[in-house]
Amino acid sequence: MNIIKYFSPLLKDQELVEDLPIVIRVRKFDEDSANEFSKQMSKAQNTGQPVIPIIIDSYGGQVYSLMSMISDIKHSKIPVATIIQGKAMSCGAVLATFGTEGKRYMDPDATVMIHDVSSMMEGKVEELKADAKEADRLNKKIFHMMAENCGQNEDHFLDIIHQRGHADWYLAPHECRRHNLVNYLHVPTLNINVKVDFKFE
């Protein structure tokens, strides 16, 4: 959220409003994006806002960056609302389920895609084996967390992916609602009220 502030040269003391509500937009899952996400989540804890909106429009990205973002959400003292606009694929779909129950939204024209954790590792045979083992661990962990968030049995999403032959699973909005990935099929209205006081001396 970009906020432009204007100041008059007639003002002697300028008291900046630093605790404006934070709205986080997630497009990528990489180290830089995870660091920025963490900064915004930390800042939002001190704004006094009742909820942190996280708008997701992403093709996905790095799993470890996703895990970092999940950790930030889990440690938040403020409820989080996830809002899918456009697309939430791979890591984006997972992150969407970490919105507080009752605060997970999806635009009716958006698309969700879920699939297995993939690895682009190259190297020696033993390195590839270790990498495959780690990918399998992350895959199970992520799908189990998703299932818990959505009120499903532990292997709900793992079983469906397996039944589909581990192909990419594209879900229409009504399917997301049926699996409780989201709670509402609309984008909520975000009202931000900013109070400005002028002091003349």
**Total residue length of the chain:** 201
The whole-angstrom separation of Cα 142 and Cα 95 is: 10
In a domain, 1, yes or no: no
Is residue 192 scored above 80 in pLDDT? Answer: no
17 inside domain = no
Please report, as a single letter, which amino acid is at residue 112. V
Rounded to whole angstroms, the Cα distance separating 53 from 139 reads 26
Encode pLDDT of 119-168 as tens digits.
666 667 677 788 888 889 999 999 999 999 999 999 999 999 999 998 99
Q: Does residue 8 form part of some domain?
A: no
Is the pLDDT at 5 greater than 50? The verdict is no
Tokens of 66: 């996703």
Is 194 part of a structural domain of the chain?
Answer: no
Specify the DSSP class assigned to residue 100: P
Residue 9 falls inside a structural domain: no
Residue 11 belongs to some domain of the structure:
no
Q: Is residue 3 part of a domain?
A: no
Asked if the model's pLDDT at residue 39 lies above 70, the reply is yes
Q: What is the mean pLDDT of residues 154-183?
A: 95
For residue 166, give the CATH number of its domain. Answer: 3.90.226.10
5 in a structural domain: no
How far apart are the C-alpha atoms of 34 and 67, rounded to whole Å?
Answer: 9
Tally the domains of the chain.
Answer: 1
Burial of 153 (0-12, 13-18, 19+ CB in 10 A): exposed
CA 173, CA 78: separation in Å to the nearest integer? 27
- Of residues 37 and 16, more confidence is placed in 37
Residue matched to tokens 């970490």: 98
Is the predicted pLDDT of residue 19 greater than 60, yes or no? Answer: no
Range of the domain at 150: 24-178
